[in-house]
Amino acid sequence: MTMELRTIESRGPARQPVRRRGLQRGVTLFGLMFWAILIGMVSLLGLKVLPTLNEYFTIKRTVEKIAMSGASTVPEIRTAFDRQKDIEYSIVSIGGKDLEITKVNDKVVIAFAYNKEIELMAPVFLLLKYEGRSR
């Protein structure tokens, strides 16, 4: 028993941790929650917008392909777009009837424009306006 007392006494006085407010670092619980909610909202927005961007670029590629194919009449171009739409599963916003087909300098120019609404939360929607044309 005496041996235990000596070892306890030989350690010296217990040190108290020094608290300096300026040197403490880290994130508070509220800060962590704020950043988690912010990152979650931005991720949710990105996940809802990316499919519409994919659809836009697919439509743009399809219009370019049809314009370069040499189709010259309006019904022929609309039919070609509808056939391509049946193949491409991601085109749902427009059809062949929505295309504006003109000729500029003896070259066929196909233009399109459409709106896409994305529901974020019950009464809140995000409206995206897409438009494009062939070269």
Whether pLDDT at 93 is above 80: yes
pLDDT at res. 121: 85
pLDDT digits (tens, 9 = 90+) for 53-91: 999 999 999 999 998 887 778 889 999 999 988 888 888
CA distance 76 to 44: 40
Residue with tokens 């590629």: 61
Residue with tokens 């044309």: 133
pLDDT at res. 3: 54
CA distance 32 to 43: 16
pLDDT at res. 22: 65
